[in-house]
A = this chain, B = another copy of it.
């Protein structure tokens, strides 16, 4: 899986870098124990703490290492599609292209299924997932018979699932099912000792041979890292780009980091920075990397979409034609009167 030289040129996510004595040591040790079993795992931690990295670690350390690792980002898939995405659907009689689709769960047979942002799972899916965990079988949409699937579940979230349960947004029975092997990933600010190792690892991936000056490193270690490892990754990249001298100096760091007020380490899982406050409709949940195929956002109002498209083009053509409708119609390959009528309708609808 080397992305080689892709465009925006990103580093591949680091494979578990930490320092001696890091709190991560105990987490890794826990992973090793856990991996041997087949029990469900629940990873919790802020954005950017590397939940997928640890999910893969559990997979690799388990007896299923040779099987598939299937990541699914629950938050990145429109609710209406989640079901067919997870469970698949039986007959795809038509369409040629798709045909009958395996669900992600079925694809994880013999391997590990990672459900990221499981806190975003809508209630109906929670119920269905629970059934699957109990029966060890999935029943694709439209199909009559269940299909046994042997998979291991690793769930992850940056929400406080217990609070979600208390608020009635997450099923208690599913919660306890997931809670068999809880693994909490500490935020980067609570393990500043890992910062140097991580920084060095990122530098190596950048082919950056200069060193970070001690003063700069000290600043890095003191920063709160609300975006955790991913934020560090970006800062390092930026540092490498911006620094001009023979070494990477504190002056080359972003202002925020230099205006540092030494932050108290967070109190366990108490505060979840920033993004906790979603108000917005469509509450954009932080959905870290790595899962879910592209797929256009459906459902969509096709009629409205086409109206918009048409309107955009008509407006552009009119502008280019300087308001001359005859020319504009030509530009669009439409009859003149057709364009006129379209405009009239539009004006009418507006009123």
CB within 8 Å of B: which residues of A? 3, 5-10, 30, 33-34, 36-40, 47-48, 76-78, 80-81, 83-84, 87, 89-95, 97-101, 123-124, 126-128, 130-131, 133-139, 141-142, 144, 146, 148-153, 165-173, 175-177, 179-182, 226-227, 230-231, 234, 237-238, 240-242, 244, 254, 274-275, 277-280, 282-284, 286-290, 292-306, 308-325, 330-334
- A140 → B minimal CB distance (Å): 9
Given the interface pairs A123-B282, A231-B176, the reply to whether A293 lies near B139 with Cβ below 8 Å is yes
Given the interface pairs A48-B176, A313-B296, the reply to whether A333 lies near B34 with Cβ below 8 Å is no
A319 proximity list for chain B (CB < 8 A): 95, 97-98, 295
Closest residue of chain B to A33, judged by CB? Answer: B242
Contact of A227 (CB < 8 Å), options: B99, B173, B315, B334: B173
Given the interface pairs A295-B320, A313-B300, the reply to whether A280 lies near B81 with Cβ below 8 Å is no
A294 proximity list for chain B (CB < 8 A): 87, 128, 131, 138-139, 146, 316
Given the interface pairs A39-B237, A242-B181, A302-B332, the reply to whether A172 lies near B286 with Cβ below 8 Å is yes
A–B pairs, 15, beta carbons within 8 Å:
A8-B38, A8-B39, A9-B136, A10-B134, A10-B136, A39-B241, A91-B323, A99-B323, A166-B274, A168-B277, A173-B227, A173-B286, A180-B241, A301-B332, A303-B333
Given the interface pairs A181-B242, A300-B313, A322-B92, the reply to whether A123 lies near B284 with Cβ below 8 Å is yes
A168 proximity list for chain B (CB < 8 A): 275, 277-280, 283-284
Closest residue of chain B to A206, judged by CB? Answer: B37
A99 and B324 CA atoms in complex are apart in Å by: 11
Does A312 contact B300, Cβ atoms closer than 8 Å? Answer: no
A87 and B295 CA atoms in complex are apart in Å by: 11
Contact of A127 (CB < 8 Å), options: B134, B287, B312, B318: B287
Contact of A277 (CB < 8 Å), options: B36, B166, B288, B300: B166
Does A133 contact B10, Cβ atoms closer than 8 Å? Answer: yes
Does A130 contact B295, Cβ atoms closer than 8 Å? Answer: no
A320 proximity list for chain B (CB < 8 A): 81, 84, 295, 298
